[in-house]
């Protein structure tokens, strides 16, 4: 197993930023490892622009496991699916690629092959615990925390780590399970890039979409968790 570097904190424009964009594939790469135990092949159903598919590909490569990614069929492989493939993942195209259909095909494959099917957004109790432990490893106790919310896994884990903090999350797609976080709604469609970008590398379909709301509504000294670039 590859040892990953520690989290990095940085002050930018009056806010505390968790700079996990400094690690290739970021925070999800860190926590994907807890889902790899006891399985040689990991299966994931991903939107074409989904970020977890790359994190899984990296984590499986780190641990010498096999990653199989199901995604909607496209004429040209989406950039993040291509990155996952470059890291050794097998990409399986699904015609009529609504996410529900992609998930059904991935589930059927896992049942037949005996591979381990991972939940959307890595929304698993062990991942929540791993994320909370990551947060508690930081030398801060923030009073206000901002994230994006795809599945909502990250904000719920941070709520567990910092129960006294106020939480805000920015919805970027489907309705997330965001715990007690106050939700803002990104104006861009899921596959669209953020129209307002932070002053550090950030994933344009994910974390970057929170920055406009951080700038407009966050208190000085609030913490923003940047999952990746």
- Residue 205 falls inside a structural domain: yes
Helices (H), the chain: 26-32, 52-63, 79-86, 99-113, 125-136, 153-161, 211-217
- Write down the pLDDT at residue 80: 83
- Write down the pLDDT at residue 168: 98
Same domain for 207 and 129: yes
Same domain for 184 and 109: no
- Residue 113 falls inside a structural domain: yes
What's the CA gap between 97 and 143, in Å, rounded?
41
Which residue stretches of the chain have pLDDT < 50?
A: none
- Write down the pLDDT at residue 51: 79
Same domain for 98 and 22: no
Same domain for 219 and 180: yes
Domain count within the chain: 2
Same domain for 16 and 94: no
8: exposed, middle or buried (Cβ count in 10 Å: 0-12, 13-18, 19+): middle
- Residue 4 falls inside a structural domain: no
Same domain for 42 and 76: yes
The CB-based long-range contact list for 214-218 (8 Å cut-off, 24+ gap) reads 214/15, 214/146, 215/13, 217/168, 217/184, 218/15, 218/144, 218/146, 218/168
Instruction: Say if CB 8 and CB 211 are below 8 A apart.
Output: no
- Residue 3 falls inside a structural domain: no
- Residue 2 falls inside a structural domain: no
Name the residue range of residue 165's domain.
Answer: 9-27+123-226
Condensed to tens digits (0 to 9), the pLDDT of residues 140-150 reads 999 999 999 98
What is the domain-level CATH number for residue 74?
Answer: 3.40.50.1100
- Write down the pLDDT at residue 1: 55
């Amino acid at each position: 197993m590859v040892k990953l570097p520690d989290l990095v904190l940085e002050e930018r424009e009056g806010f505390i930023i968790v700079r996990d964009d400094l690690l290739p594939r970021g925070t999800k790469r860190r926590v994907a490892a807890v889902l790899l135990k006891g399985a040689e092949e990991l299966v994931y159903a991903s939107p074409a622009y989904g970020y977890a598919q790359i994190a899984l590909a990296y984590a499986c490569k780190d641990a010498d496991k096999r990653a199989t990614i199901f995604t909607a069929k496209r004429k040209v492989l989406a950039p993040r699916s291509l990155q996952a493939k470059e890291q050794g993942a097998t990409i399986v195209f699904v015609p009529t690629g609504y996410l529900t259909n992609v998930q059904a095909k991935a589930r059927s494959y896992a049942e037949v092959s005996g591979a381990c099917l991972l939940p959307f957004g890595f929304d698993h109790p062990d991942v929540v615990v791993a994320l909370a432990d990551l947060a508690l490893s930081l030398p801060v106790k923030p009073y206000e925390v901002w994230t994006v919310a795809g599945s909502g896994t990250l904000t719920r884990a941070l709520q567990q780590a910092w129960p006294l903090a106020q939480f805000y999350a920015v919805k970027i797609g489907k309705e997330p399970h965001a715990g007690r976080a106050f939700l803002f709604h990104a104006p861009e469609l899921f596959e669209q890039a953020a129209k307002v970008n932070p002053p550090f590398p950030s994933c344009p379909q994910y974390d970057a979409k929170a920055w406009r709301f951080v700038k407009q509504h966050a208190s000085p000294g609030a913490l923003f968790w940047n999952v990746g670039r």
